[in-house]
Structure 1
Amino acid sequence: MRDRLLAAEKVKAIDWRDGVLYLLDQRALPFEETWLACTDAEGVAEAIRSKVLHGAPAISICAAYGLLLGLRQRLAAGGDWRAALEADFAVLSSALPTTANLSWVLDRMRERLERLKERDDPSQALEAQALGIHDSDREANLTMALLGVELIRKYQGSEQAVMTHGNAGALAGGGFGTALGVIRAAWLDGMVERVYVDETRPSLQGPRLTAWELAQDGIPLTVNADSAAAHLMKTKGITWVVVGAERVAANGDVASSIGTYSLAVNAMHHGVRFMVVASSSVIDLELASGDDIPLEEGEGAELLEFAGHRVVSGVEACNPLFDVTPADLIDVIVTEKGVVERPDAAKLAQLMCRKRLH
């Protein structure tokens, strides 16, 4: 199965080439495939803030490359490059606070700098670290895909319908994807007949990104309004909801794209199993519960405008980008370290003590 997944890889969103970070501008998808070149840390942070890319894994990988770009600029400027680099750490860490991977990756980059020996080239050392983080995410996705397929096989038969929300595919990481990695593997193994793709309003990640990715692989899909999810669970024989995550608290609460919480409530009511697929790096044991996860708000104009025209005036808009799904609504969390069914604080703490699966 691993070899089949490797052979099926078609989509990537991050390319480090000749000292420049190239990002597939996801704001233009699915109509245009445009690559944006980033040459400094501020440029990478702005790409994160302006939604050139999305997804906890992709954001963290880009932050690693962004810090490398910042380091090279500081070295070229001369002086105390370590002190100057703190500004790059700050601008990258503040780009999207909900994403746990971001601080985790920047901590790893800082630790690598602190281990430098006098003869070491800091630029070379950080480049190796950034490339390692990128490759590690891709390998983790492969592991999670294989684990997720086994769960789908264990609980249901072949040719089932699944639903996903947001975009947790190759566009959101270093390759293959988390939730979409599992769905791709299940489809290749004959376990999935059709994927129902939520719109994921207001940014429409479903039709713009997830549907585009699945179409590249020839996977049968249907795009649906978020508000149609419960109806489809009732009428279309959906057996699994498979989603990604931005952050997981110590008790198993999960922050993900807005609308994931209501999807989990609907899934429980209809007896549909709910799977979260995410790297262990998004598990934050320092946060006791989802109440402690910072959640960003989007611009109100996304809700009050259509096709560039204001559709309502004199009202306020509430536009949260993420919500928190309580652990008791989640059947299983799949990570590269293993699987946690019915997650709670004890099970997640035990998981984080394990070494990575191979």
Structure 2
Amino acid sequence: MRSWSFDIRYTRGSLQVLNQLKLPHETEYMDVRGAEDAFDAIKTMMVRGAPLIAIVAALGLAVEASSGATQNGTAQEASSMLHEKLDYLKTSRETAVNLANACDALKTTISGEAAREGSTWSSTVEAFVGAAEAMLEEDIAANRRQGGYAVEALLSEPSCKGKARLSVLTHCNTGSLATAGFGTALGVIRALDEKGLLASCYCTETRPYNQGARLTAYEFVADGLPGTLIPDSAASFLMAQGKVDAVAVGADRVAANGDTANKIGTLQLAIAAAHYGIPFLVVAPLTSCDPETATGGGISIEERPASELKTVAGTKIAPDGISAWNPAFDVTPARLITAIVTDKGCVPRKEATGDKDKEFDVKAFCQAMSTGEGQPDQPPPNPEATAPSASLETPEGYRALTGEGAIAEYLAGLPKVMALIGASSAADVVSEEFGDGNLNLVFRCRGPAGDAGGTVIVKQALPYVRCVGEPPHIILRLGLIQGLRYSTLAADMGTYLARTLFFSSALHLTGSQMKEEIGRWASNWPMCELTEQVVFSDPYMESDMNRWTSPELDEAAAALRTDVPLRLNASRLKQKFMTSCEVIDPEFAFYGPMGFDLGALIANILLAYCAVPGNGQGEDYAEWLLEQVSTVWTSFKGAFLELWIDEELHKGQAYLRAMYPDTKGLEDAQAQYMQMLWQDTLGFAGMKMIRRVVGISHVEDLDGIKDRAARARCESHALALGKRLVMASKPLDGSSDGVIAEAEDVFVLARSLGGAGGS
């Protein structure tokens, strides 16, 4: 693995920076002994790049502070000294917000330590130095995270889907020479290359300072990337030739509406990309976002000396007497940007508001991602796309089926599947990835005869959370929001679940087969841990991951954290999820409780029901949705029991057939089993509903309701119904009070708690 970092050399008390002014001809490292050296290195552009200048400023002062030259004073005097020097460093470059954000964050750390009882000059300096060093480590980790987010965002773009490899154009330098390591926009190129998805990469020369020619091209060559340098003026023609699949740029400052300041020349690339229908990604850490600056019009643009434009390496290239305008940055409006990708995920767009319908909700995103700063005023429309990456471990032997021919090769090893679609070799398989979620790949696979020869759907759980855009098809949730009625939906889903769950359960599999399958699918535990956190834990405790419509639901959210019986039932269901080895779960590919799958489907139907008043489908449609809950359960129950009754299929150790030779005994056992499964289903459904209202990941049914008051009423209804379902799943006193025995009882409860006609 490459280190991806060669711009700075730091150990406590010593900092050297690579003199980028001498690249690519010389590789020279310069000592930075304190704040003044750091200021000069930044001002003269010996170091540049928004993330890197913040790191150099912080570490440069850390070297000075830890040198021990001045230690005679109080904690408050140390704080004043460090504050003054940080304010000085902030003035070295004015456009990049990372520097200001870093200095302000460090000042907060310093003030906190200085105010602590018993603090000293040394402890205050140590707190600052430790925080500065942590910024270095976090910058590298953040770059890798956002690289992964950006790759998935690109792969979800319609123009990029189905392509085995992508060609990316970048501008200026956003790699290891602009960050602590790996890079932002150049990090996307590196991430694509690591995954075998990079066809080629292009960099502009980036006049007048030539950061692309001197620095990005330097990194291309150093890393062995398939790179090409082009003149700034050739970018549009390159796009016209069809040689660019995406443009990825960095950012020095992102305003609250998504307007982005970046190196001069970025705007013209965005205009050209929009003209040719090419995705244009802004890739920058959250520290580059400035939610307090409303639009790009409020960003101060640095202007560089005319001499930088009129000379190259000290040689004049323009006549004396000609005036020159040399802005260092320009501002790209949000409407030209396809996605803004940060180390915390993809920034969502605001709700449509006329001519501002393509603005991003940077302020709400920053609030949601901050630690304890409160909840966003308007929930993002696609919260799962903004969730922090889960950085999950990849099981040994795992490979994502995204490479060219990967899915076809996989199916070629499954003779029964190949026969089903009428394919004799991998070359016969035609597939398309059409998933809309953040956790799975979903492929539609056919043989040479197309639909006439059979179709197979292949779903693969990913070891990470991905960002996605709009799917190229209508998904069920959006269909329900639009008020569509699917005549066979509930019956088909009930039957599908019955067959999936029965054939992977201990009712069908022998003891040895069951244990073998449990072991086979045990490696996906990291994704299970994610569910255990966001579904079964976070909503019932203080967590930075939670969010809800505030202040309307503040009281209801707080009540979840103090409701002891509810938390006890939630803990019981969590334990069942963690320890049950009943059946394979097609979502995460692991063995877990059967009721979790059934509950997930029923929860989503009930969420759609609760959202009816806000989405305006009418009371008749609400009643149709409730009928689907009943149909799902009855069709599942009928199909499941039909499989169980067949002696050739019921050959597992669970409810061993030999123990029930008489029909009455078997029927009693089945009735007991189905009743327990129904209670589990209700409990898991309730858990899913609660987390979709107050947890990190919401649903469009509710989040898409534009009227805030109406949305809050619908969410309150869903929250109340979810709590009752959790409590009804198994009363703690062992009584039958509150038990929901039949699906029709769910209807009565749902109506009594709000009623879709007027909640």
Q: What is the TM-score of this pair, normalised by structure 1? A: 0.93
Residue 326 of structure 2 is aligned to residue 319 of structure 1 = yes
Residue 139 of structure 1, CA deviation: 0.8
- Structure 1, 120-129 or 283-292: larger mean CA deviation: 120-129
Answer with 1 or 2: which has the greater Rg: 2
Q: Residue 154 of structure 1 is aligned with which of 140, 153, 156?
A: 156
List alignment gaps of at least 5 residues for structure 1. Answer: 1-6
Matches within 5 A, 1:1-358: 7-72=1-66, 76=70, 78-79=72-73, 80-116=77-113, 117=116, 118-119=118-119, 121-155=123-157, 156=160, 157-310=163-316, 311-340=318-347, 347-355=361-369, 356-358=388-390
1-structure distance, mates of 2:129, 2:361: 35
Q: In 2, Cα distance between the equivalents of 1:87 and 1:353?
A: 28
In structure 2, relative to structure 1, the CA distance for the partners of 1:341 and 1:275 (3 Å cut) is farther
Instruction: Check conservation: 1:338, 1:351, Cα contact below 8 A.
Output: no
Distance 2:238 2:144 in 1: 29
C-alpha distance in structure 2 between counterparts of 1:56 and 1:350, whole Å? 23
Give the equivalent residue in structure 1 for 2:687: none
Residues 297-306 or 98-107, more deviating? 297-306
- Given the superposition, is the C-alpha separation of residues 346 and 322 from structure 1 closer, same or farther in structure 2, using an over 3 Å criterion? closer
Runs of 4+ in structure 1 over 4 Å off? 72-75, 341-346
Corresponding letter in the other structure for 1:250:
A
Letter in 2 for 1:332: A
Identity %: 37
**Residue by residue, what CA displacement relative to the aligned partner does 1:200-239 show, whole Å, maximum 9, x if unpaired?**
1011111111111121221111100111000000014311
State the shift of 1:15 in Å. 2.0
- Structure 1 residues 5-46: Cα deviation after superposition (integer angstroms, max 9, x where no partner): xx2334321222240211111111112111111111011011
Mark the CA change 1:345 to 1:230 in structure 2 (over 3 Å): closer, same or farther: closer
More strand by share: 1
Question: Quick one: distance in 2 between partners of 1:166 and 1:342?
Answer: 26
3-state SS of 2:280 partner: strand
Query: Structure 2: how far apart are the matches of 1:216 and 1:231?
Result: 27
Q: Check conservation: 2:13, 2:64, Cα contact below 8 A.
A: no
Query: Contact between 1:169 and 1:181, CA under 8 Å: does it hold in 2?
Result: yes
**Bigger mean CA deviation after superposition, 70-79 or 181-190:** 70-79
C-alpha distance in 1 between matches for 2:362 and 2:17: 33
Q: CA deviation at 1:158?
A: 2.0
Quick check: 1:74–1:84 contact (8 Å CA) kept in 2?
no
Letter of the aligned partner of 2:328 in structure 1?
A: L
Change (3 A) 1:50 1:213: same
Q: Which moved more, 1:188-197 or 1:281-290?
A: 188-197
Give me the whole-angstrom Cα distance separating, in 1, the residues matched to 2:259 and 2:360: 13
Contact 1:57 1:137 in 2 (8 A): yes
Deviates more, 1:175-184 or 1:76-85: 76-85
CA distance in 1, matches of 2:125, 2:233: 49
1:219-268 deviations in Å (ceiling 9; x for gaps): 11110011100000001431100000000000100000000011100110
**Secondary structure of residue in 2 paired with 1:197:** strand
1:261-295 CA-to-partner distances (Å, cap 9, x unmatched) read 11100110111110000001111111010111111
- Residue 316 (structure 1) shift: 1.0
What letter matches 1:137 in structure 2? D
Q: Which stretch of structure 1 is more off in the superposition, 96-105 or 344-353?
A: 344-353
Paired residue type of 1:144:
Q
SS of residue in 1 equivalent to 2:281 = strand
With over 3 angstroms needed to count, the CA separation of the structure-2 counterparts of 1:124 and 1:265, relative to structure 1, is same
Q: Measure, in 1, the Cα distance between the counterparts of 2:291 and 2:12.
A: 37
Gaps of 5+ in 2: 351-357, 370-387, 391-759
**CA RMSD of superposed structures (Å):** 1.8
Structure 1 Cα separation of the partners of residues 89 and 234 of structure 2: 37
